Amino acid sequence: MTEMLTVTSIAALRRQISRWREAGESIALVPTMGNLHDGHLQLVRIAHKKADRVVVSIFVNPTQFGEGEDFAAYPRTEREDREKLHKHAVDLLFQPSLQEIYPPGSSTFITVNGISDLHCGASRLGHFSGVATIVCKLFNMVQPDVALFGEKDWQQLAVIRCMVRDLDMPVAIVAVATVREADGLAMSSRNAYLTVAQRRIAAKLYQSLREAKQMLVSEAMEFSRIEQQQLQFLTEAGFQPDYFSICYADNLLPATRFDRDLIILVAAKLGKARLIDNIQISRHG
């Protein structure tokens, strides 16, 4: 197995990228904040099928955390992450410092208006500006042919797609299906915050999505009633729901019964963990 390169500076990253470009090789980027689980590793596995070289970044990005959120406590498992990436034949790990990414005096941020203000953006002010900024910076540094993101963070994916389109970035965005535990809970670094008792409850988040999908497909009741019913279900199960929304999949605006490509988005707190998930619905034919 080829040794994985680990670089911490933008200059070293660009030197290696230039060598691969000169050799005519294509590049895939998997941006992460570390504490890697099988959801991240699935992105890596698919990245190998999309390009000659796979670059993974690990950077816990402070600009996407709001005041009082878990930036300081966010799990950091650098040694374990490097071992996992090496086993999955990653070509280069980019692991920069905070000062490398945001040197003193940094004052430029990317904001994708509209879609960033909905759902998670309504309760995590500035979150998606931080996401768009770090992803834009990584795209400028790596200049990948393709970048891979998980569908669990559907709103993040929508924001990034919009940014790439609006700024004419020559990057193909590949969405990868959510990887789940055996009981349906979407894999997430924040699942580590759950106690044993909370972990048993957590699977009910996906259960609520599946039940809502069934009601929606069977046209059993109005969208607003489905949303309210599932919010009540989650509250009674022990969650503190943020939202449960039936949306048009592209722009995440509220869906109507005439729309065909839908997504149900949910976010809820359970103890220290804020969990998000979604389920897609196509009603063609």
Q: Are strands 240-248 and 146-150 parallel, antiparallel or unpaired?
A: unpaired
Give me the catalytic one of 40, 88, 119, 127. 40
Find, among 120, 52, 116, 126, the residue nearest to 89 by Cα.
52
Which uninterrupted H or E stretch holds 129? helix 127-142
Find, among 155, 81, 65, 73, the residue nearest to 112 by Cα.
155
Which uninterrupted H or E stretch holds 44? helix 38-50
Which residues lie closer than 8 Å to 85 by C-beta, 6 or more apart?
A: 4, 36, 44, 56, 93
The total of other beta-carbon atoms located within 10 Å of residue 3's CB is: 7
Furthest C-alpha separation in the chain: 59
Taking each helix axis from N to C end, the angle separating 127-142 and 154-166, rounded to the nearest 10 degrees, works out to 60
Which residues lie closer than 8 Å to 204 by C-beta, 6 or more apart?
A: 233, 234, 237, 239
Q: Rounded to 5 degrees, what angle do the CA atoms 214, 219, 225 make? A: 85
Which residues lie closer than 8 Å to 80 by C-beta, 6 or more apart?
A: 36
DSSP state of 178: P
88 among known catalytic residues: no
Q: Which amino acid is at 10?
A: I
Q: Which residues are catalytic?
A: 40
